[in-house]
């Protein structure tokens, strides 16, 4: 067992995952899916105030990397969070940021 935070063979994959999550619009979409559950592009567009084309573009990237799943129903595609670790990761990061902010007040 090693004390490394990230095993060298996984460095590029971890970097790609964090890069995907570095886009605020993607975080906004993930937040909405966490709160609202499965939603289609139109619903996500209305809930976030983002243009449908922008929502679709970001959902495509998230789906390509298995962070969200896409389910087709008739003319609509519905999206949901596919990686259950996302919620825990966001809670961990946000909790730390809130503690840091509270320490500076």
Does residue 88 surpass a pLDDT of 90? no
Average pLDDT, the chain: 92
pLDDT of amino acid 51:
97
Give the start-to-end residue ranges of the domains of the chain: 11-103
pTM of the model: 0.86
Does residue 12 surpass a pLDDT of 90? yes
Is residue 82 exposed (0-12), middle (13-18) or buried (19+ Cβ within 10 Å)?
middle
Cα–Cα dist 27/53, whole Å? 16
**Site of tokens 């619903």:** 43
How sure is the predictor about 1, in pLDDT bands with cuts at 50, 70 and 90? low
Average pLDDT over residues 22-37: 95
How many CA atoms within 13 Å lie on the side-chain side of 6?
10
Q: Pick one of 3.40.50.2020, 3.40.630.30, 1.10.490.10, 1.10.10.10 as the CATH number of 11-103.
A: 1.10.10.10
How sure is the predictor about 82, in pLDDT bands with cuts at 50, 70 and 90? very high
């Amino acid at each position: 067992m090693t004390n490394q935070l990230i095993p060298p063979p996984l460095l590029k994959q971890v970097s790609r995952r964090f890069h995907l999550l570095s886009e605020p619009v993607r975080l906004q979409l993930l937040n909405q899916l966490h709160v609202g559950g499965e939603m289609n592009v139109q619903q996500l567009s209305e809930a976030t105030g983002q243009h449908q084309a922008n929502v679709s573009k970001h959902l495509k990237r998230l789906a390509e990397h298995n962070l969200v799943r896409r389910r087709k129903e008739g003319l609509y595609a519905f999206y949901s969070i596919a990686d259950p670790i996302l919620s825990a990761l966001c809670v961990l990061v946000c909790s730390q940021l809130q503690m840091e902010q509270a320490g500076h007040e």
